[in-house]
């Protein structure tokens, strides 16, 4: 997992646009999903340690996939927000505050 996180950090540092990062994350998601779907669920080995290591590897890949998806969601959410915000600010007009009329004491 450490290698994957380092690759993400390098890609973030070298990326020119958010779209480059999004494409990288989509490739990582696709690769990890394919690896999980096509890989063996249980390693059929006579060594119990080998079987445990394989199970831990699959769990790490699942967590890595979730992390990739969350990063992609955050990135997508921020880039969509950046596209929408400038349009919203143009549509909003500053309305002058209405003056309150004093009509006497209020009854409760």
Model confidence over 41-100: pLDDT tens digits?
Answer: 777 778 888 888 888 989 999 999 999 899 888 887 766 656 555 555 555 556 666 666
Residues whose CB is less than 8 angstroms from the CB of residue 83 and which lie 6 or more positions away in sequence, other chains included: none
Tell me if residue 45 falls in helix, strand or coil. Answer: coil
Whole-number Cα distances in Å, 26 to 10, 40, 60, 68: 16, 23, 18, 8
pTM of this prediction? 0.62
Where does residue 68 rank: exposed (0-12), middle (13-18), buried (19+ CB within 10 A)?
Answer: buried
């Amino acid at each position: 997992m450490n290698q994957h996180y380092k690759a993400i950090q390098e890609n973030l540092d070298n990326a020119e646009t958010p779209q480059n990062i999004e494409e990288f994350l989509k490739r990582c998601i696709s690769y990890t999903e394919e690896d999980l779907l096509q890989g063996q669920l249980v390693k059929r080995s006579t060594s119990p340690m080998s079987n445990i290591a394989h199970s831990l590897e699959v769990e790490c890949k699942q967590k890595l996939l979730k992390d990739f998806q969350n990063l992609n969601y955050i990135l997508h959410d921020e880039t969509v927000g950046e596209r929408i915000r400038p349009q919203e600010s143009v549509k909003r007009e500053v309305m002058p505050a209405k003056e309150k009329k004093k009509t006497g004491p209020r009854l409760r």
